[in-house]
Amino acid sequence: MRSILVINPKGGAGKTTLSTNVAAYLARKGERVAIGDLDRQQSAMAWLDFRDEALPRIEGFDARDGWDSRPKGTQVLVIDAPAGIHGGKLSESLKAADKVLVPVQPSLFDMAATEEFLRLVAEEKSVRKHKTFVALVAMRVDPRTRTAAMLERFLTHFELPVLTYLRDTQIYPAAAAEGKSLFDIAPSRARRELENWQPLTAWIDS
């Protein structure tokens, strides 16, 4: 079983948006996917409640009870981490994950919170020994803007790949309101977004 952890200590960074879309991409490929929600708000589980049974199936569970409580037969586990995770829980989560995605938004507050978090991540033994692979995803940003340039300069301070820049668009919340993802709607409605996702999906599949 593979596991992908989506994590950032800052609330509102886009973790659940990223988690649900990653899970839906893998389910569309035919993988048996489960989302484990570590957040007490259980936003990913609420998304699943709206998901139509006709869509590619995604299981869900409360990961606060432990990752081992995942549904039987899970091939890929996507973990939606809560804001403020630190200490032992952070270490345990990083050790248990095969890959880690860190969403980052182009605001001063988000970057400041993420900078300290990435330093902590780099100090983790599982990351230093390359047992866990970490990558960044720029969220809600147009790569042609000044804020994108500011974020790009910030991210160059870390020896981590920046996979892609995902735009600030209403496609994500509109799809989420129906329990859908970018990969569950007509490709003609999301052509540009799907192009932006290609480096990210390639990294997931590698």
| Domains of the chain and any CATH numbers | 2-199 (3.40.50.300)
- Rounded CA-CA distance 181/55 in Å is 10
pLDDT (tens place) for every residue of the chain, 206 residues total: 899 999 987 788 889 999 999 999 999 999 999 999 888 889 999 999 999 999 999 999 988 888 888 889 999 999 998 887 777 787 888 888 899 999 988 777 777 777 778 877 777 766 666 666 888 898 988 767 777 777 777 777 777 778 888 998 999 999 999 999 999 999 999 999 999 999 999 999 98
Q: Where are the beta strands (DSSP E) in the chain?
A: 2-6, 33-37, 58-62, 76-80, 99-104, 133-138, 162-165
Q: What single-letter DSSP state applies at residue 11?
A: T
Structure tokens at 75: 């091939």
Q: What single-letter DSSP state applies at residue 64?
A: G
- Rounded CA-CA distance 59/94 in Å is 22
